[in-house]
Structure 1
């Protein structure tokens, strides 16, 4: 996986030696440690500045606010996958942590291979289930393509086609060239139901039909029965033309 697609991870751990070991294991596995933090305040600041894709959080942190309180605050900023690091197996702590919907738990002392496996599991769990109500969808998502999870900016998804339990992402030329340099441009096929993909899209997306969702930012032309996004043409069912125009900033004029 090239560096531009590597998962960017925030490590929150107050033990310096453990944090160093985690960073070394992540880099060896091909991940990008965007930053490390030792306490609640630093982690919040880093979260806003670096916009990591995933956070590894030690449940027990020095200070009044622990990793569970931090996790809640981080996901209020933007919903991202969380993995808790813990040496504590108390049921009360576990139940508190579970309420923040972590994608995985990793018990200390960890093994490097286990760390990588838990990250894969966390991504799989995160993109399988619905984002909780009130949480803001991420700007970037990771999708399975060419034997790895690759970063895709949702703003660069032009449209999504659905068929059975599969969803096909049609990306801009620039975005596809970034995730698959040298490859012939084609749709990115996901073995994920349409409704699961829609949970991770913001208000710029409009469901043009039962099996097609379009990104309004890429609409170039709207006719009575079809809409054009670059070279792509999407047929509009009866009644969708007016509804679509209401979602667009149209300057009305006489015909």
Structure 2
């Protein structure tokens, strides 16, 4: 099932935080939390990783947004964008060292916020699917851009994937998502224990298979072809009796 992008806001000026929250919701995103301290934000992140976060650099207290970004090393990675009222070179240099996915100068406008999120998610999606260290296999979801925003797709909810040349149809709970990729490349990103090829054009989630025969696989009401080449591998992947 696809989900709306979940965003964490770390900003100690509540008027600004609420304004940003309203902008995000207008853009179709879900605000999970607003934190006014870096330490409380870190605890929230450890409890539930957001899809994206906005960190104000100049937070009140000893720990600022740059401190928070540095604490994320070793935790599950996600894209974050810095917010600041200061654009001086020293601040920018310190921020860059944490490898942010964006940098916005206050006051924040809806158009610039949307653009920063788009760039951050596109970069994150590309890195996730091309880097061995950051492969989405290490997580249980990935993002697809639809209707001018990125939505999260859980691997366990995928029914099957159909290849159409250089495009893939990802079928999830009655919905179809289109991405540009070959089936071979996409298959390499998926856990082999959960997905199996049944045809040169079809890859299926093992957990979603309801029945199969030597010539077809059934997933709910869908009947998918199975080629002889992959039939034995499918049978071997399941315990059968009789």
Normalising by structure 2, what TM-score?
Answer: 0.73
The partner residue of 1:238 within 229, 233, 237 is 229
1:127 aligned counterpart, secondary structure? helix
> CA 1:62–1:148 in structure 2 vs 1: closer, same or farther (change >3 Å)?
closer
Q: SS of the counterpart of 1:36?
A: strand
Alpha-carbon offset, residue 147 of structure 1? 4.7
Paired with 1:68 and 1:242, the residues of 2 have a C-alpha distance of 50
- How far 1:68 moved relative to its partner? 4.3
Q: Are 2:204 and 1:206 aligned?
A: no
Question: What root-mean-square deviation, in Å, do the aligned CA atoms of Structure 1 and Structure 2 show?
Answer: 3.6
Partner residue of 2:30? 32
| Structure with the higher fraction of residues in strand conformation | 2
Which stretches in structure 1 are left out of the alignment for 5+ residues? 177-186
Taking a change above 3 Å as real, the CA distance of residues 62 and 143 of structure 1, as seen in their structure-2 partners, is same
Separation (CA, whole Å) in 1 of partners of 2:201 and 2:74: 31
Which range moves more in the overlay, 146-155 or 32-41?
146-155
Aligned to 2:50: 52
CA distance in 2, matches of 1:203, 1:42: 38
Q: Any stretches of 5+ residues in structure 2 without a counterpart? A: none
Aligned pair in 2 of structure 1 residues 145, 28: CA closer, same or farther (>3 Å)?
A: closer
Label 1:146 to 1:190 Cα distance change in 2 as closer, same or farther (>3 A).
Answer: same
Aligned pair partner of 2:11 in 10, 13, 17:
13
User: What whole-Å deviation, never above 9, does each CA across 1:39-63 have from its counterpart, x for those lacking one?
Assistant: 3331133234454322112244445
2:79 to 66, 78, 81: 81
Q: Using structure 1 for the length normalisation, give the TM-score.
A: 0.70
Aligned residues: 233
Q: Which residue of 2 aligns with 1:155?
A: 156
Per-residue CA distance 1:161-203 (angstroms, 9 max, x = gap): 2333311111223xx3xxxxxxxxxx32223454675587556
